[in-house]
Amino acid sequence: MANPISLPLQEKLPRKNTLKRASDLFIFLLLLSLCSYRLLHLNTHGSVWLLALTCESWFTLMWFLMMNSKWNLVDHKTYPDRLIKGMRELPPVDMFVTTADVSLEPAIVTVNTVLSLLAVDYPCHKLACYVSDDGCSPITLYSLIEASKFAQLWVPFCKKYFIRVRAPFMYFSTRPEIPSGVLEEGFLHDWRRMKSDYEELKRKIEEAAKKSLPFPLTGEFAEFSNIERGNHPSIVKVIWENKDKVPNGVPHLVYVAREKRPNQAHHFKAGAMNVLTRVSGVLTNAPFMLNVDCDMFANNPQVILHAMCILLGSKEEKDSGFVQFPQIFYGGLKDDPFGNQMVIANEFILRGIAGIQGPIYGGTGCFHTRKIIYGQPPDTKGTQGQVHEVSRERYGRSWELSKSIVKIMSGMTEETPTFHCNSSNLKAAEEVASCFYEFDTCWGTEVGWIYGSMTEDVLTGLRIHSLGWTSAFCTPQPPAFLGCAPMGGPACLNQWKRWTTGLLQILIGNHSPLLAAVTKKLKFRQCLVYILCSTWASRSIPEFFYSALPAYCLLSGTSFMPKVSDPWILVPTILFIFYNLYTLSEYLSCGLSFCTWWNNQRMQRITFLTASLFGSLGVLLKVLGISETIFEVTRKDQNDSDSINDVDAGRFTFDSSPLFVPATALVLVHLISLIGFLIGVQPLASDASESGLGEVVCSIWVLLSFMPFVKGLFGKGNFGIPRATICKAGALAFLFMHLGTKANR
């Protein structure tokens, strides 16, 4: 496939972070000192200090795990120009786009992502784009058919004028830049034509989405005439085939709606990804696969070249498991009021994990080698006979899929792939998309995307790392992919709740990282990374109790802080000040503002006491057999300039969800206890007249962190907490106050 390449295609460069390591250790020592002090004085302070010790011990463990994750920061530098010059043939790549609900994920969003992928800088006869429609909507198929017509003009336009941003909605949202070396008049003529055609495409799709029956269900849409969502056969449609294998044409485009039947588990996104893997294995069988969510468009046209630099340029096979690109979001509001831009996580945590065994799989913007999805360990090559014998039991009964797996396992992939779209192969594709195909196979357990968690991406990455593979974190400029982050309170918190539920499911499931370091080839420090990831949401429980402690102490006349005259008061004081300065410095070093830091800090507190708390309780109820967890799709819209510039865009919004009850109750308790203390209704702590100061400061800090809820008590409409929620929270607050005042008697 390749000529010898003298220069490296990629480099792994460690960062110097001595000062950061020293700061991490200093905070860790302060936490240990605080826990030691509480332990030594536990007998003289009682249950309040025991609760504080328990919470602070958990925070100390979380900090140790976080410190491990950020200890070895590395950068991956790629050289796509060297790849182009040094390779005779670039390998084929199958691209997967997943969408689940056309009402929550509008078809125009999916279309823009697909168009950006079809127009990347890569030989188009080496690419195939598969779109999984888990909602089985004729609107999605109609939109892709119309998009394929537009792509015949859009792809040549992008490559002719070296357009950088190739998602039409984003490209046409700004004034056109005249490329160097082209006639301005000719470019502007083509630009106006493309914009007009895109507006027409957008109009058609949006009008179709508004109608209950936008077009007759005949011809291409005949299969949709007698089906219902959740109960339909598999549908595989070749929307566009690059029959002439034109290098600068439009890649293959395939629509897939897997079979669904009532009472048959479909395993959410993991099941959809496994169907795409099998369908693409039958039709194109590329050795590399890219998967993106329907709202993550390709922002860097050389994204595949960057990924191939790592996958093909690694010295050892185990170093080329998968390449994860960061999740970066466009159109973010000023100062990130909802704390969902994940800049710090990308800059420090994922770069740090990349210095161990590699970043965790993030579910989108990721390139895999197909053989690791098939469960093959690194540095092993089976013969054709061995692979064939195993595949019938392990991978299912499809003869066409078995043959494709033999080629992947033995490395006999074609440099110029053949697109097998005859009737027999399409029938085979529909067969492997059946909901019954996986019965008595290893799909979802040892092969493909792993079942058992709503965060199937993290679980699948854990399985890959456990086999001995490593991964890489690639951060080219401009960013490879851009997506839209949820806005408002409910959307953000529902997404975090789903992540919380999925991560805790991993911790208690059959693939728990607690056992992987012993039974698998997972490095110990990488095991700690997965333990941090899967237990992070469980911090919500000690966070809730710790946040309630100041109010309880003010109500009961007790204290959980050292006396002001006690020299040990310096430990929590220094810890509080240094930790906040440390986190602030991380934001400032990334070019972010003080307001961004504060918004992220308060949203972290809010998330823990709403989404994470309910996610943790949901998993507990499932373990006890009381209820089942529910998968909720996050609404995805392309944020326009008007919504971003709206003065109310950054305000926290509420709905009637029970998610908001605990935090509202906490705010009510702190307001009442703090007011009561300040006016002299509540007594001081019994051990010293000065011991209430620390609790007052902590209570004020909690209220500042939950200021959106304080404002929500008096807000109106979506910006106000519903009365029903306030009533429920008030009942909880009254119960808490009763317990606190009772303890004081």
Contacts of 488 (CB under 8 A, 6+ apart): 338, 652, 653, 718
Kindly report the number of other CB atoms within 10 A of residue 658's CB atom.
11
Q: Which positions are catalytic?
A: 134, 457
* CA–CA separation, 354 and 369 (whole Å): 18
81-117 core/surface letters (b: 16 or more CB in 10 A; e: else): ebbeebbeebbbbbbbbbbbbbebbbbbbbbbbbbbb
* CA–CA separation, 467 and 23 (whole Å): 34
* CA–CA separation, 442 and 145 (whole Å): 35
* Helical residues (DSSP H) of 590-627, grouped into ranges: 594-607, 613-623
Alpha carbon distance, N-terminus to C-terminus of the chain: 81
* CA–CA separation, 17 and 403 (whole Å): 49
Size (the chain), residues: 745
* CA–CA separation, 622 and 625 (whole Å): 5
* Residue 566 Cα to chain centre, angstroms: 45
614-647 core/surface letters (b: 16 or more CB in 10 A; e: else): bbbbbbeebeeeeeebeeebbbbbbbeeeeeeee
* CA–CA separation, 638 and 485 (whole Å): 9
Structure tokens that stand for 286 in this block: 């590329």
* CA–CA separation, 384 and 395 (whole Å): 15
Structure tokens that stand for 123 in this block: 């030989």
Q: Pick the closest to residue 683 from 47, 51, 48, 691 (CA basis).
A: 691
* CA–CA separation, 671 and 714 (whole Å): 13
Q: Pick the closest to residue 670 from 706, 646, 641 (CA basis).
A: 706
CA distances (Å), 400 to each of 125, 284, 425, 426, 570, in order? Answer: 22, 11, 8, 11, 70
* CA–CA separation, 401 and 412 (whole Å): 15
Contacts of 558 (CB under 8 A, 6+ apart): 46, 48, 552, 685, 686, 743, 744
* CA–CA separation, 724 and 656 (whole Å): 8
Torsion of CA 268, 269, 273, 276, to 10 degrees: 70
Q: What is the DSSP letter of 106?
A: -
Helix, strand and coil in the chain, % to nearest 5: 55, 10, 35
* CA–CA separation, 79 and 12 (whole Å): 12
- 552: helix, coil or strand? helix
DSSP 433-453: TSTTTTTTS-BTTTBSSPPS-
Strands (E), 100-234: 127-133
Report whether 643 contacts 485 (CB < 8 A).
no
| Strand-strand pairing, 252-257 and 127-133 | parallel
Structure tokens that stand for 130 in this block: 């598969």
Strands (E), 198-269: 235-240, 252-257
CA distances (Å), 656 to each of 249, 701, 718, 726, 727, in order? Answer: 50, 26, 10, 10, 12
* CA–CA separation, 691 and 681 (whole Å): 16
